[in-house]
Amino acid sequence: MSILIDKHSKIIVQGLTGKEGLFHTEKMIHYGTKVVGGVTPGKGGKKYIGVPIFNTVEEAVQNTGGNVSVVFVPSSFVSDAILESIYSDIHLIICITEGIPILDMIQIKHFIKRTKSNLIGPNCPGIISPEKSKAGIMPNSVFSKKGSIGIVSRSGTLTYEAAYQIMKMGYGISTAIGIGGDPILGMNIIEIMKLFIKDDETNCIVMIGEIGGKLEIEAVEWMNKLKHKKPIIAFIAGKTAPKGKIMGHAGAIIKNEIETAQNKIDIIKKNGAYVVDSPENIGIFVDQLLS
């Protein structure tokens, strides 16, 4: 199995006709993803790279049966784009766009709780299940082999590095999800781990974290309370980051001592998870754990 998406997922791309949307839609199609429609107001009725374009998400859903939306809309319009997908009963919304105002995300987070929609992101690389489907911008070449290792990550590039190191050791990925690094996110690490726990084909979970926030801490504490667990291999980026300084992501800022990389590492270890000191050791540790 895979979580959230599979070979039957029907993808709609909001902002497909833009430069980034068009580029990554092509990559998704080449990966084997079922991209059934695009949405760009005013361009309905046209086709881009063989994909029909609609003026609204509602029209796209009615005509294609799309159930997953990937959002490449500019940040000033993203809030409306996400809400449009929610109102159209899209099951899974992946927001790639960065720079979304925090107030907009607070409002979306509050609203989406009352619906059946799930949101990944914003400011994220998306989700991929090798040999099945890709919804986002993850590089096709890295995720070439399906397997039993699940990845949940706050960092895009480290997600790719983890997958590469895992595959280099002969293992494959069940599903990889980049949740993004912004302060206000859609699905969090615990919500993703709950799905991995239920997935019979995921035997081990790799968690890529970073300084700032308590998502990783909350996740390992939750996992440690379960009767039936799955092993977690973690890497926490940002050991040398100075306190109070934003490093890369808007969410990667140390506010309290518990949010430093070292304190997160200590707490993760105390809760029974494994920690590697470098991304290049992830594949090696997976091999030691599962062989």
pLDDT of 291 reads 85
pLDDT of 28 reads 98
Q: Does residue 241 have a pLDDT over 90? A: no
Domain boundary among 123, 149, 166: 123
Q: Does residue 249 have a pLDDT over 90? A: no
The answer to whether residues 154 and 69 belong to one domain is no
- Beta-bridge partners for 158: none
Residues annotated catalytic, as ranges? 249
The answer to whether residues 146 and 276 belong to one domain is yes
pTM: 0.93
Residue 15 tokens read as 């902002």
How many domains does the chain fold into? 2
- Name the pairing type of β-strands 51-54 and 47-48: antiparallel
Contacts of 270 (CB under 8 A, 6+ apart): none
The mean per-residue pLDDT over the stretch 201-227 comes to 93
pLDDT of 58 reads 98
The answer to whether residues 111 and 157 belong to one domain is no
The answer to whether residues 224 and 281 belong to one domain is yes
Residue 182 tokens read as 């912004």
Which of these, 24, 27, 83, 31, lies nearest to 58 by C-alpha position? 83
Domain boundary among 90, 123, 156: 123
pLDDT of 144 reads 93
Round to whole Å and give the CA distance between 23 and 54: 18
* 14-52 residue pLDDT tens: 999 999 999 999 999 999 999 999 999 999 999 999 999
Round to whole Å and give the CA distance between 143 and 261: 28
Coil, strand or helix at 125: coil
The answer to whether residues 284 and 195 belong to one domain is yes
Domain boundary among 123, 158, 180: 123
Q: What are phi and psi of 251, to 5 degrees?
A: -90, -10
Q: How far is CA 129 from CA 31, 81, 165, 235, 243, in A?
A: 10, 25, 17, 21, 36
Q: What are phi and psi of 164, to 5 degrees?
A: -60, -45
In the sheet with 146-153, reading across from the earlier edge strand, the strands are: 133-136, 126-129, 173-178, 146-153, 204-210, 232-237, 274-275
Mean pLDDT over the full length of the chain: 92
pLDDT of 251 reads 53
pLDDT of 162 reads 96
pLDDT of 257 reads 54
- 93 burial level (CB within 10 Å; 0-12, 13-18, 19+): buried
Q: What range does the domain containing 95 cover? A: 1-123
pLDDT band at 2 (very low <50, low <70, confident <90, very high): confident
Residue with token string 């280099």: 168
The answer to whether residues 1 and 117 belong to one domain is yes
Q: What are phi and psi of 24, to 5 degrees?
A: -75, -25
* 115-136 residue pLDDT tens: 999 999 999 999 999 999 999 9
> Is the distance from CB of 211 to CB of 259 less than 8 angstroms?
yes
The answer to whether residues 104 and 73 belong to one domain is yes
Query: Has residue 186 been placed in a domain?
Result: yes
Any idea how long the chain is? 291
- CATH number, domain of 227, equals 3.40.50.261
171 secondary structure, DSSP code: -
Round to whole Å and give the CA distance between 215 and 64: 36
The answer to whether residues 166 and 253 belong to one domain is yes
The answer to whether residues 279 and 147 belong to one domain is yes
Which of these, 5, 9, 1, lies nearest to 203 by C-alpha position? 1
pLDDT band at 174 (very low <50, low <70, confident <90, very high): very high
Query: Has residue 208 been placed in a domain?
Result: yes
The answer to whether residues 182 and 284 belong to one domain is yes
